[in-house]
Protein backbone atom coordinates (compact mmCIF):
# COMPACT_ATOMS: atom_id res chain seq x y z
CA UNK A 1 0.00 0.00 0.00
CA UNK A 2 1.21 3.52 -0.84
CA UNK A 3 0.14 6.57 1.13
CA UNK A 4 0.81 10.13 0.08
CA UNK A 5 0.40 13.12 2.37
CA UNK A 6 0.04 16.39 0.50
CA UNK A 7 1.15 19.11 2.89
CA UNK A 8 0.87 22.76 1.98
CA UNK A 9 3.58 24.98 3.39
CA UNK A 10 2.77 26.96 6.53
CA UNK A 11 1.67 30.60 6.35
CA UNK A 12 4.38 32.76 4.84
CA UNK A 13 5.39 36.32 5.55
CA UNK A 14 4.96 39.24 3.18
CA UNK A 15 6.98 41.53 5.46
CA UNK A 16 10.05 41.49 3.23
CA UNK A 17 9.09 42.92 -0.19
CA UNK A 18 12.71 42.71 -1.32
CA UNK A 19 12.55 38.90 -1.20
CA UNK A 20 11.45 36.82 -4.16
CA UNK A 21 8.41 34.60 -3.81
CA UNK A 22 10.78 31.61 -3.63
CA UNK A 23 12.62 33.09 -0.63
CA UNK A 24 9.70 34.21 1.54
CA UNK A 25 9.96 32.92 5.16
CA UNK A 26 7.19 31.73 7.44
CA UNK A 27 5.29 34.31 9.46
CA UNK A 28 4.40 34.07 13.16
CA UNK A 29 1.30 31.91 12.51
CA UNK A 30 3.26 29.65 10.17
CA UNK A 31 5.95 29.17 12.81
CA UNK A 32 3.21 28.04 15.21
CA UNK A 33 1.09 25.93 12.83
CA UNK A 34 3.89 23.91 11.20
CA UNK A 35 5.16 22.24 14.41
CA UNK A 36 1.57 21.85 15.65
CA UNK A 37 0.49 19.96 12.53
CA UNK A 38 3.67 17.88 12.57
CA UNK A 39 2.97 16.88 16.18
CA UNK A 40 -0.62 16.05 15.22
CA UNK A 41 0.49 13.52 12.60
CA UNK A 42 3.13 12.11 14.93
CA UNK A 43 0.53 11.66 17.68
CA UNK A 44 -1.74 9.80 15.26
CA UNK A 45 1.09 7.35 14.61
CA UNK A 46 1.66 8.34 10.99
CA UNK A 47 5.31 8.22 9.97
CA UNK A 48 6.92 9.02 6.63
CA UNK A 49 9.40 6.78 4.88
CA UNK A 50 10.49 9.88 2.98
CA UNK A 51 9.92 13.61 3.11
CA UNK A 52 9.90 15.32 -0.29
CA UNK A 53 9.75 19.11 -0.45
CA UNK A 54 9.75 22.05 -2.77
CA UNK A 55 13.02 23.92 -2.21
CA UNK A 56 11.15 27.21 -1.71
CA UNK A 57 12.00 28.59 1.73
CA UNK A 58 8.47 28.40 3.16
CA UNK A 59 7.93 24.79 2.03
CA UNK A 60 11.37 23.56 3.08
CA UNK A 61 11.06 25.27 6.48
CA UNK A 62 7.69 23.58 6.98
CA UNK A 63 9.19 20.23 5.98
CA UNK A 64 11.99 20.70 8.52
CA UNK A 65 9.44 21.06 11.33
CA UNK A 66 7.89 17.75 10.29
CA UNK A 67 11.31 16.13 10.00
CA UNK A 68 12.09 17.22 13.55
CA UNK A 69 8.82 15.76 14.85
CA UNK A 70 9.73 12.40 13.29
CA UNK A 71 13.44 12.53 14.25
CA UNK A 72 14.55 12.76 10.63
CA UNK A 73 17.69 14.74 9.79
CA UNK A 74 17.17 17.73 7.50
CA UNK A 75 19.78 16.29 5.13
CA UNK A 76 17.40 13.37 4.49
CA UNK A 77 14.69 15.65 3.07
CA UNK A 78 14.59 15.24 -0.70
CA UNK A 79 14.32 18.66 -2.33
CA UNK A 80 12.45 18.39 -5.62
CA UNK A 81 12.71 21.55 -7.74
CA UNK A 82 9.71 20.62 -9.90
CA UNK A 83 7.29 20.95 -6.97
CA UNK A 84 7.68 24.73 -6.95
CA UNK A 85 5.02 26.23 -9.25
CA UNK A 86 3.96 22.69 -10.23
CA UNK A 87 0.88 21.91 -12.27
CA UNK A 88 -1.18 18.79 -11.61
CA UNK A 89 0.68 16.86 -14.32
CA UNK A 90 4.03 17.79 -12.79
CA UNK A 91 2.94 16.51 -9.38
CA UNK A 92 1.59 13.31 -10.91
CA UNK A 93 4.95 12.73 -12.62
CA UNK A 94 6.84 13.34 -9.37
CA UNK A 95 4.62 10.91 -7.45
CA UNK A 96 4.78 8.26 -10.17
CA UNK A 97 8.58 8.37 -10.05
CA UNK A 98 8.92 8.01 -6.26
CA UNK A 99 11.13 5.21 -4.97
CA UNK A 100 9.03 2.08 -4.39
CA UNK A 101 10.96 1.37 -1.19
CA UNK A 102 8.98 4.27 0.33
CA UNK A 103 5.43 3.31 1.24
CA UNK A 104 4.54 6.59 2.96
CA UNK A 105 5.66 9.94 1.57
CA UNK A 106 5.06 13.43 2.93
CA UNK A 107 5.12 15.86 -0.01
CA UNK A 108 5.43 19.58 0.80
CA UNK A 109 4.34 22.09 -1.78
CA UNK A 110 2.18 24.96 -2.88
CA UNK A 111 -1.24 25.95 -4.12
CA UNK A 112 -2.96 25.91 -6.49
CA UNK A 113 -1.13 22.74 -7.58
CA UNK A 114 -1.65 20.74 -4.38
CA UNK A 115 -5.38 21.42 -4.18
CA UNK A 116 -5.89 20.63 -7.85
CA UNK A 117 -3.88 17.44 -7.49
CA UNK A 118 -5.84 16.35 -4.40
CA UNK A 119 -9.12 16.89 -6.25
CA UNK A 120 -8.08 14.31 -8.84
CA UNK A 121 -8.35 11.69 -6.07
CA UNK A 122 -11.71 12.55 -4.54
CA UNK A 123 -15.35 12.79 -5.48
CA UNK A 124 -15.76 15.42 -2.75
CA UNK A 125 -14.48 18.78 -3.91
CA UNK A 126 -11.71 20.30 -1.80
CA UNK A 127 -12.08 24.05 -2.22
CA UNK A 128 -8.65 24.88 -0.87
CA UNK A 129 -5.90 23.17 1.07
CA UNK A 130 -5.07 25.92 3.55
CA UNK A 131 -1.58 26.74 4.72
CA UNK A 132 -0.30 23.88 6.93
CA UNK A 133 -3.19 21.77 5.61
CA UNK A 134 -2.69 18.06 5.06
CA UNK A 135 -4.53 15.72 2.69
CA UNK A 136 -3.93 11.97 3.03
CA UNK A 137 -4.31 9.94 -0.16
CA UNK A 138 -4.24 6.15 0.16
CA UNK A 139 -3.91 3.37 -2.36
CA UNK A 140 -3.54 -0.38 -2.40
CA UNK A 141 -1.02 -0.31 -5.27
CA UNK A 142 2.51 -1.56 -4.68
CA UNK A 143 4.16 0.71 -7.24
CA UNK A 144 4.12 4.52 -7.24
CA UNK A 145 3.80 4.38 -11.04
CA UNK A 146 0.29 3.00 -10.46
CA UNK A 147 -0.68 5.72 -7.97
CA UNK A 148 -3.34 7.34 -10.13
CA UNK A 149 -6.98 8.41 -9.77
CA UNK A 150 -9.16 5.34 -9.60
CA UNK A 151 -6.44 3.40 -7.78
CA UNK A 152 -5.95 5.91 -4.95
CA UNK A 153 -8.35 8.11 -3.04
CA UNK A 154 -8.40 10.88 -0.47
CA UNK A 155 -8.82 9.15 2.88
CA UNK A 156 -9.02 12.24 5.06
CA UNK A 157 -7.56 15.64 5.69
CA UNK A 158 -6.32 17.71 8.59
CA UNK A 159 -6.62 21.49 8.47
CA UNK A 160 -5.29 23.75 11.28
CA UNK A 161 -8.65 25.55 11.74
CA UNK A 162 -10.18 22.20 12.76
CA UNK A 163 -7.87 22.05 15.79
CA UNK A 164 -7.71 25.65 17.01
Question: What CATH number should be reported for the domain holding residue 110?
Answer: 3.40.50.1240
In angstroms, the CA 164 to CA 147 distance is: 33
Overall number of domains in the chain: 1
Residue 120 scores a pLDDT above 80? yes
**pLDDT for 93:** 98
Q: Considering the entire predicted model, what is its pTM?
A: 0.97
H helices of 44-87, in order, are 57-69
How far, CA to CA in Å, does 52 sit from each of 28, 66, 162? 24, 11, 25
Residue 59 scores a pLDDT above 80? yes
Domain encompassing residue 8: 2-13+20-162
Residue of 114, 101, 117 whose CA lies nearest to 48 = 101
Residue of 97, 109, 100 whose CA lies nearest to 49 = 100
Query: Would you place residue 118 in the very low, low, confident or very high pLDDT band (cuts 50, 70, 90)?
Result: very high
Q: What is the DSSP letter of 156?
A: E
Let me know: does 164 contact 43? Beta carbons within 8 Å.
no
In angstroms, the CA 74 to CA 131 distance is: 21
Amino acid sequence: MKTLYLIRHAKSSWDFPELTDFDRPLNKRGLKDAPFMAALLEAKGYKPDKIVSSPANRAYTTAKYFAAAFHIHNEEIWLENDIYEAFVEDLQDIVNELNNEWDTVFLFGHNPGLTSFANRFTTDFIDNIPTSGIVRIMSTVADWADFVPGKARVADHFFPKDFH
